[in-house]
Structure 1
Amino acid sequence: MNELTFSEKDRYVIITNAYPHEKQLYRNGFIHRRVKAYQAEGLRIDVFVLHPAYKKAEKYIYEDVPVYRGTEQHLRMFLNHNVHKKVLIHFVNSTMVQAIKETNKDLPIITWIHGFETEAWHRRWFNFLESAESLRKILEMADDYYVAQLSFMNWFYQTNELDTTFVHISKWFKEHIAECDARTKSENSVIIPNVIDDMLFTFMEKPVEMRAKVLSIRPYASRKYANDLAVKAVLELSKRPYFNKLEFAFYGDGQLFDRTVEPICNFENVTIHKGFISQEQIAALHKEYGIFLCPTRLDSQGVSMCEAMSSGLVPISTDITAIPEFVEHDVSGLLTKPESPIEIADAIERLYYNPDVFLRVSKQASQSIQDKCAVDVVIKRELEIIVG
């Protein structure tokens, strides 16, 4: 790491736990999209990926972004160059902050709070119901990792030792999860949602026929995405007279995929696509469907839902956690009660029988989410705290 040279001063560094690589395209891609937007505004950005797996310091370039990878020791050496104006952190942990304290504690820090790094273990209780082994494992972590991480966050939110600004992506998550679980306030904080690429997820006015075309693109690694409720909604709709006039497409992958979608595999109007797809492929699919099916059990924003809204799909989600900050029921989407596949089915039925509602909500979904999350809106607010 000593051989690193920097030709220009006035740089910013992002410290994170993962970043896209030509062999790992999906590692925190949303951070990369931010970096490209910052570069477009003239900022010089370095990325340091801190992870114990990278025993040897290394550097690569990903789409004109210089990315460094290494351990805590390498991070200290990296920061000792003292060429950065600020540190921007995504998925913070104590190791990252300790390295800053020991090298340049006066360096201003901006920390984005995304989710698991500031949640108590029980927030994801629904992930540990599969077996006694999974429950036992998380209970062991509850006494070790979660206690240590939340104790660190309690200190980090309050400390005067460092110049830190916190960015929360939703008011609900800030107040009901991040601060609640850390048992303290993050006084120096702002709320800025994750950015949605409105140049990729462009609005296309939907013909009324698309109200019968339902799309689901979700991970299947966790029960938080409530894909089981979406499947149960299809099963409920299969009992209704117009079912064969509907069309469903389920895209996704993860350990729960096969088991979750198995009950609907034999319906002729349901197509199943196992595997991850690119942002460009997702945007293309958005133009073929009218409804985005995205129930949830826990979301700090729901980025895939917001992307679909930007494209003009009508989201059907759950009136829970942060979702109501991004979807207003009957205005920019339809919200259902938690754990209610019948209400999900009823929402699809309502759009089927009321094309005027479908067209109205489709337009309002796109406009409302672009007002909140478009690139110009979010990046402008982030640059105000980065450069300011």
Structure 2
Amino acid sequence: MKVAVITGRYPSHNAPYNHMFVHTRNQQYVKTGVSVKVFVPSGSEHRYQIDNIKVQQQPANEIVKEISDGQYDAIFIHLLHHSINPTIDGGPIYEYVITHDIPCLFFIHGVEVQKLSRSRPGDIRFSKPKSVARAIYRDLWVLNRTRRTITKIINETRNTRFVFVSEWIREDAERTFELNLRQRSEVIHNGIDTELFYFQDRWKDRHKLLAIRPLVLRGTYAVDLAIDAMSKVKDKNISLTIIGKGPEKKDILNYIAKRRASSVIHVTDKFLAHSDIPTAHSHYGIYFAATRMDSQGVSMCEAMASGLPVISFNTCAIPEFVNHNSNGLLLERENSNAMPVLIDELLSNKNTYYRLAEGGRHTAESIDIRHTTAQEIELAKSTIISAKYH
């Protein structure tokens, strides 16, 4: 099977973190014998290889020419956005797929079907006019065109299937667009590499919490909530380390100081390569997946695979992956008052710690990337076979 993967961004040697979850899928497809070529809409043309996967950056209309020669059995689409910039606008690509009813898996990860004003209100700051303009552009212009595209797919094609990474994001998309997507969709979670993220006993490091988050104080990744929660923990032997990159390190450090938590909350200004995250996990005993919005929580699931009991918030898709007191612990949405109680339970009760760690590992194994990508390949093959009989 030959597949053209079209995505808004892709890892490169200069930008190794761009949509890494797409690349890890592609690597697994290739291991199973699928031929993969990646196309990225761009204002200029550039060709390169990463991990033996060929990538072409070129204007959207040139990508249409590439996929129109019939050499690909299926198209996989990830985070291909509509844009007022014609060189990167996904519109012509969607139009070609719809018009020719090409077998297609349209992956929906979250942001492409969500209103910023509802899912990420903390990212909109009236003190920063660009954030307001971005929200208006996304919520009114981009989502309107996305709704038109999805409606046309439902009404005018047989051979495009939607793949949602969680049930919650499917329901959110249906609510946003006022469409019934269930008959044309599947839920297949982002896969976790449970060989890369291997289980280890972390009990001895249970006093050390880890959060891998972009260094942005408020908004989706909820660094402020993590700080608020830790500031309520009175045991000064318990610490939290936040590792990530971002523009607001100074604001975060000031916020930590205001909460008088500088001695127990540490910030490491560093990008972690995906292959380096298991090593980071090995130095900590609990993973704190602070969040205001997650359509899955991949970094949380990776920590679960590594044997770190996780603490997160009961919001969005998190409860699909974390069952409170079974494979992790949940705080109520944006309410960290129970943090001291949860921490005390984990630190003082070895049975609870191991039960949650083992439950988390079991959850990660159930969505191992070898299993999830096999589901995606089978769905694509069934779509290709169906197309031949219509």
> Taking structure 2 as the reference length, what is the TM-score of the superposition?
0.88
Q: CA deviation at 1:154?
A: 4.4
Paired residue for 2:388?
Answer: none
Paired residue for 2:359?
Answer: 364
Paired residue for 2:375?
Answer: 381
1:191 and 2:177 aligned: no
Q: Secondary structure at the match of 2:213?
A: strand
- State the one-letter code of the partner of 2:312: S
1:349 and 2:344 aligned: yes
Q: Secondary structure at the match of 1:159?
A: helix
CA distance, structure 2, for counterparts of residue 143 and residue 380 of structure 1 = 34
1:205-244 CA deviation, whole Å, 9 max, x = no partner?
223x32211111112346111110110112111xx2xx22
Q: Cα distance 1:117–1:142, how it changes in 2: closer, same or farther (>3 A)?
A: closer
Paired residue for 1:62?
Answer: 50
1:283 and 2:278 aligned: yes
Q: CA deviation at 1:96?
A: 3.4
1:206 and 2:202 aligned: yes
Paired residue for 1:6?
Answer: none
Paired residue for 1:3?
Answer: none
Unaligned runs of at least 5 residues, structure 1: 1-9
Query: Is the 1:231–1:261 contact (alpha carbons within 8 Å) kept by the matching residues of 2?
Result: no
Q: Report which stretch shifted further, 339-348 or 76-85.
A: 339-348
CA distance, structure 2, for counterparts of residue 38 and residue 125 of structure 1 = 36
Q: Secondary structure at the match of 1:219?
A: coil
Q: Cα distance 1:48–1:147, how it changes in 2: closer, same or farther (>3 A)?
A: closer
Kindly report which structure 2 residues correspond to 1:2-21, keeping only aligned pairs within 5 A, or say none: 10-21=1-12
Q: Secondary structure at the match of 1:331?
A: coil
Q: Secondary structure at the match of 2:157?
A: coil
1:33 and 2:24 aligned: yes
Q: Secondary structure at the match of 1:117?
A: helix
Query: Is the 1:79–1:100 contact (alpha carbons within 8 Å) kept by the matching residues of 2?
Result: no
- State the one-letter code of the partner of 2:371: V
Q: CA deviation at 1:267?
A: 3.3
- State the one-letter code of the partner of 1:248: L
In structure 1, which of residues 220, 231, 253 is the aligned counterpart of residue 245 of structure 2? 253
Q: Secondary structure at the match of 1:339?
A: coil
Paired residue for 1:271?
Answer: 266
CA distance, structure 2, for counterparts of residue 261 and residue 331 of structure 1 = 34
CA distance, structure 1, for counterparts of residue 236 and residue 129 of structure 2 = 41
CA distance, structure 2, for counterparts of residue 139 and residue 289 of structure 1 = 37
Give identity over the alignment, percent: 27
Q: Secondary structure at the match of 1:341?
A: coil
Q: CA deviation at 1:153?
A: 4.4
Unaligned runs of at least 5 residues, structure 2: 83-88, 383-390
Paired residue for 1:78?
Answer: 66
1:315-350 CA deviation, whole Å, 9 max, x = no partner?
100011110000010010000101112223332122
1:305 and 2:300 aligned: yes
Query: Is the 1:90–1:113 contact (alpha carbons within 8 Å) kept by the matching residues of 2?
Result: yes
Q: Cα distance 1:203–1:38, how it changes in 2: closer, same or farther (>3 A)?
A: same
Kindly report which structure 2 residues correspond to 1:21-170, keeping only aligned pairs within 5 A, or say none: 21-51=12-42, 54-55=43-44, 57-94=45-82, 95-96=89-90, 98-99=92-93, 101-102=95-96, 105-122=100-117, 123-129=119-125, 131=127, 133-134=129-130, 136-138=132-134, 140-141=136-137, 144-156=140-152, 158-161=154-157, 163-170=159-166
Q: How many residues align?
A: 369
Q: Report which stretch shifted further, 115-124 or 60-69.
A: 115-124
Q: Secondary structure at the match of 2:76?
A: strand
Query: Is the 2:201–2:307 contact (alpha carbons within 8 Å) kept by the matching residues of 1?
Result: yes
Query: Is the 1:117–1:149 contact (alpha carbons within 8 Å) kept by the matching residues of 2?
Result: no
Q: CA deviation at 1:101?
A: 3.8
- State the one-letter code of the partner of 1:32: H
CA distance, structure 2, for counterparts of residue 261 and residue 157 of structure 1 = 47
Query: Is the 1:118–1:153 contact (alpha carbons within 8 Å) kept by the matching residues of 2?
Result: no
CA distance, structure 2, for counterparts of residue 135 and residue 247 of structure 1 = 33
CA distance, structure 2, for counterparts of residue 153 and residue 344 of structure 1 = 44
Query: Is the 1:195–1:378 contact (alpha carbons within 8 Å) kept by the matching residues of 2?
Result: yes
CA distance, structure 2, for counterparts of residue 259 and residue 343 of structure 1 = 25
Q: Cα distance 1:262–1:252, how it changes in 2: closer, same or farther (>3 A)?
A: farther
Q: CA deviation at 1:112?
A: 0.4
CA distance, structure 2, for counterparts of residue 173 and residue 106 of structure 1 = 25
Q: CA deviation at 1:280?
A: 2.3
Q: Secondary structure at the match of 1:245?
A: coil
Q: CA RMSD in A?
A: 2.1
Q: Secondary structure at the match of 2:156?
A: coil
Q: Secondary structure at the match of 2:252?
A: helix
